[in-house]
Amino acid sequence: MSVHAIMPPLPARRPRRPIPGFGLSLGYSIVYLSFVVLLPLIALAMSAARLDFDGWMRVLTDDRVIAALRLSFGSALAAAIVNSVFGPICAYALVRFRFPGRRMLDALVDVPFALPTAVAGIALASLYAPSGPMGKAILEVFGVQVGYTSLGVTLALIFVGLPFTVRTLQPVLRDLEGDMEQAAALLGADRSRVWRRVIVPSVAPALVTAFTLSFARGAGEYGSVIFIAGNFPRLSEIAPLLIIIRLEESNYAGASAIAMVMLLVSLCSLVVINLFQALMRERLGHE
Amino acid sequence: MSEDRPSSACLQAHARRYAGAGDGPVLRLLLILITWLFLSIAVLLPLCVVFVEAFARGSDVFLSALVSRETLQALSLTLTVTALVVPANMIFGLSAAWALTKFEFPGKPVLLSLIDLPFAVSPVIAGYVLVLVFGSSGWLGPVLSELGVKVLFSTPGIVLATIFVTFPMVARPLIALMEDQGREEEETALSLGAGGLRTFLTVTLPNVRWALFYGGLLCAARSFGEFGAVSVVSGHIRGLTNTMPLHVEALYNDNRVAAAFAVASLLASFSLFTLILKFVLERKLPDDVREAERVR
């Protein structure tokens, strides 16, 4: 007697019970997000919408506002450029070479993420202030003042943005070593050709991502910057600080306008980078 | 003919010679030197300064700064805020990840973008928008003050501001991991007769516990150190609404530099400790989840 004869016939396929909790989890998430993010951002949009065209013009042509926006975005751009040069070098050396202190340096890369911004801020300020050890040395040797100038702001933003580039590039470089570079070398490409045709093109998309992330983060950065900036109006006053100053003056319209401009620029840069990534994926998929 | 084709081990050794050590010794040395120099100046130096300056005026100043009434009050406020923010974000993260990864519904990308949004918002703006909602001339401010609830310049406002900047840190690793894991195990548990809650507690939660701890850790570290957002809503009332980072700022601006660095060194030690924990937890997460989160 075969086993099948004594077993009751199995149902062809048991209808699957749907996973429960859709309403509860989605509902709770939406309520939470609405209170924490959506409602406040709508309040910002409404507050900025209360300004008419002339009001916007008045805020945006104020030279103090222009100077602050230029400082925040300009320094963020400069810092992102510096990090796009040194970040890849660090990432490459940390992934490819074995050298003394490598593990410590690799761990150090995470410090700017982990260190509270105010702590980084006072540390940088006391180092690079004109009376601080680094600030004094640079002033004497190069005749350039770092603390309380836009240079100091850029320096703080280099610190803040550094992990973005290194950490974004490391996995890409690690993957590359395994197959693409070996294949290229096996096929007879010399090292400079491997660099030109394999390493640089593969790393470029990740570098653009890292550049944008570090730019967006730097433009809005507050804690690590205000101590080293010195906050002189029109000279070293960053845009987030000006929002706080406007708020303290109860000038909500002025604060909202600056906040709106900053928000739109960071959102736009993030949208552009997402489009760029989609484009890259598509191109790589077709090739 | 077959002798012309090298064995695969030989191929790999050949390839490694070109790829692994392909860069010449001069280039190698140069790149290593630049890395050492850049990371030492950019990161190691500021980190060391925190501890050097903390003890610059001797251990008496250091200790008295740490045990002063204002420092202890700032510490207790920071701990309270972190203790409220982390569980709130964990519950949200689990609920959002459950909704986003176990079901298909229209508008998913919108929800995902909303979760990513705080990364694009300056912390100062995060604090400012809360003032617009809960301030005396805001939408909810007047209603809540009628009810006797004070949000701005007190703990609830600081908690809300911290939640705004930290909630993606818990939600994102959970979403990435649960997306990876799919819904098969839950479906199996359900088809074997387990209820929804039991499935969640005995199947889903153990599966994602490391991602949950990981997100919670990142969130706690940031809650401890958040400055910009909290600075806008706290009102800087000494001994009352100053968190640890705000207390550091107050001391520094009072020119009590050694005391400021003493408190800062405590915060820095805490963040170094969370970094170590983070490295340990990262080993327990799949590569793609970990690498997606490392750049945040």
Distances (CA, A) of A210 to A88, A135, A218, A274, B246: 10, 29, 12, 12, 30
ipTM over 0.90: no
B95 and B71 part of one domain: yes
Q: Is the pLDDT of residue B280 over 70?
A: yes
Six-digit token string for A31: 């309520």
Chain B contact set for A114 (CB, 8 A): 221, 271-272, 274-275, 278
Q: What is the pLDDT of residues A104-142, one digit of tens each?
A: 999 999 999 999 999 999 999 999 999 999 999 999 999
Same domain, B114 and B156: yes
Which amino acid type is present at position B17?
R
Domain count, chain A: 1
The CATH number of the domain holding residue A253 is 1.10.3720.10
pLDDT, tens digit, 9 for 90 and up, residues B183-234? 899 999 999 989 899 999 999 999 999 999 999 999 999 999 999 999 999 9
Residues B233 and B97 both lie in one domain = yes
Do B207 and B153 have their domain in common?
Answer: yes
Q: Are B125 and A243 in contact (CB under 8 A)?
A: yes
Q: Which of B275, B278, B295 minimises the CB distance to A213?
A: B295
Q: Are residues B86 and B5 in the same domain?
A: no
Which among B31, B183, B261 has CB closest to A122? B261
pLDDT in tens, B44-92: 999 999 999 999 888 999 999 999 999 999 999 999 999 999 999 999 9
Q: Which of B132, B190, B248 sits opposite A118 (nearest CB)?
A: B248
Higher pLDDT, A13 or B287: B287
∠ at Cα B265 (B263, B271), nearest 5°?
Answer: 115
- Quick one: closest CA in B to A268, which residue? B120
Task: Tell whether the model's pLDDT for residue A168 goes beyond 70.
Answer: yes
Q: Give the H/E segment covering residue B84.
A: helix B69-102
**Residue A22 domain-assigned?**
no
Whether A114 sits inside 8 A of B275 (CB atoms) is: yes
Q: How far is CA B192 from the centre of its chain?
A: 38
The total number of residues written for chain B in this structure: 296
Contact A220, A266 (CB under 8 A): yes
Q: Which of A25, A166, A250 to mutate to test the interface with B (most CBs of B within 10 A)?
A: A25
> Is the CB of residue B35 less than 8 Å away from at least one CB of chain A?
yes
Name residue A188's amino acid: G
The pLDDT-based confidence of B100 (bands split at 50, 70, 90) is very high
* Phi-psi label, residue B135: left if phi above 0, alpha if psi -120 to 50, beta otherwise: beta
- The string of pLDDT tens digits covering residues A58-103 is 888 999 999 999 999 999 999 999 999 999 999 999 998 999 999 9
At A215, which amino acid appears?
Answer: F
From chain A residues 136-175, the ones with a CB under 8 A of any chain B CB are: 158-159, 162-164, 167-168, 171
**Coil, helix or strand at residue A216:** helix
From chain B, the residues in CB contact with A94 under 8 A are 35
Residues B268-288, mean pLDDT to the nearest whole number: 89
Angle between helix A200-220 and helix B123-134 axes, rounded to 10 deg: 40
Residues B176 and B149 in one domain: yes
Do the domain assignments include residue A26? no
Same domain? B37 vs B68? no
Residue B296 pLDDT class (50, 70, 90 cuts) = very low
Is B47 in the same domain as B71? no
Going by pLDDT thresholds of 50, 70 and 90, the confidence category of residue B290 is: low
Exposure string for A20-30, b = 16+ CB within 10 A, e = fewer: bbeeebbebbb
Task: Report if residue A221 sits inside a domain.
Answer: yes
Q: Has residue A153 been placed in a domain?
A: yes
Query: Is there a contact between B119 and B296 (Cβ–Cβ < 8 Å)?
Result: yes
- Provide the 3-class DSSP secondary structure of residue B286: coil
- Position A12 in a domain: no
In chain B, % of residues over pLDDT 70: 90
Report whether pLDDT(B263) > 50.
yes
Q: Examine the domain organization and report whether B110 and B231 are in the same domain.
A: yes
- On average, the pLDDT of chain B sits at 88
List A residues 88-107 in contact with B (Cβ-Cβ < 8 A): 89-90, 92-94, 96-97, 99, 101, 105, 107
| pLDDT recorded at residue A273 | 83
Total number of domains in chain B: 2
* A31 is a domain residue: no
Name the residue of chain B whose CA is nearest to A120's CA: B46
Residues comprising chain A, all counted: 287
Residue closest to B119 by CA, chosen among A111, A213, A210: A213
- The whole domain housing B143 covers 58-294
| Rounded CA separation B197/B18 (Å) | 56
Distance CA A275, CA A131 (A): 46
pLDDT (0 to 100) of residue B23? 78
From B54, B75, B96, the end of a domain falls on B54
Residues B184 and B267 in one domain: yes
Contacts of B137 in chain A (CB under 8 A): 252
* Closest CA relative to residue B293, chosen from B284, B185, A216, B13: B284
Of B54, B72, B96, at which residue does a domain stop? B54
- Which residues from A are below 8 Å from B164, CB to CB? 36-37, 40
Segments forming the whole domain that contains residue A71: 52-286
Q: Do B278 and A33 touch (CB under 8 A)?
A: no
Question: Which of A19, A69, A102, A160 should one mutate to test binding to chain B, selecting the residue with the greatest count of B CBs within 10 A?
Answer: A19
Same domain, B112 and B4: no
Contacts of B279 in chain A (CB under 8 A): 107
The helix/strand/coil state of B38 is helix
Domain with residue B146: its CATH number is: 1.10.3720.10
- Is residue B190 located within the same domain as residue B116? yes
| Inter-chain CB proximity A119 and B32 less than 8 Å | no
**Which tokens belong to B205?**
């939660």
In the numeric block, the tokens 């610059």 are attached to B56
Task: State which residue of chain B sits closest to A176, comparing Cα positions.
Answer: B19
